[in-house]
């Protein structure tokens, strides 16, 4: 495991990768912070450099077009939900229920919420774009205030 830090407008972010790709992007002290990291080594790697460049572009108000290579570590269901999150357009939102219905008519929004909540690659896999059915800003491991900031930031910079 390899790590680097990134200073964002929302505080320090920990970036983590393995030989396959990016495995984590966490705000400092967020829920599930550094989940699964064992004996990390601070080292510059191509994928971590690409992630910093992606974040620089994102926080400059531009929508990055190409994601760094990722190594998604989770269940099949979690991976399916995370892939759906990647389809939510910049500056837009979807509800947990909308995502659940994309998977199955009988899928529960709570199951989707659990998978969204365990997304380890914050911002790049845009879990901040998922909201409650009543448009409430619920459940963001990085904190509701960061979720609110990211949504307003994207809306302001939407093309």
Residues taking part in catalysis: 127
Residue indicated by tokens 């190409």: 66
Closest CA to 130 of 157, 92, 101, 104: 92
Q: Strands 94-95 and 41-42: what pairing?
A: unpaired
C-alpha distances out from residue 106 to 49, 69, 113, Å: 41, 32, 15
Angle between helices 76-85 and 109-117 (to 10 degrees): 90
Q: How far apart are CA 42 and CA 96, in angstroms?
A: 36
């Amino acid at each position: 495991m390899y790590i680097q830090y990134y200073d964002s407008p929302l505080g320090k972010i920990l970036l983590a990768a393995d030989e396959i790709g990016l495995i984590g992007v966490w705000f400092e002290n967020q829920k599930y912070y550094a989940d699964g990291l064992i004996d990390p080594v601070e080292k510059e790697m191509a994928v971590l450099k690409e992630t910093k460049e992606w974040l620089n572009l994102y926080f400059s108000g531009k929508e990055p077009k190409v994601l760094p290579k990722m190594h998604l570590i989770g269940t099949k269901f979690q991976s399916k939900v995370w892939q759906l999150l990647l389809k939510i357009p910049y500056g837009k939102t979807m509800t947990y229920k909308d995502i659940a219905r994309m998977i199955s008519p009988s899928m529960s929004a709570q199951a989707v919420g659990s998978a969204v909540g365990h997304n380890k690659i914050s911002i790049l896999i845009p879990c901040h774009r998922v909201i409650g059915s009543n448009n409430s800003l619920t459940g963001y491991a990085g904190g509701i205030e960061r979720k609110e900031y990211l949504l307003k930031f994207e809306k302001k910079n939407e093309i």
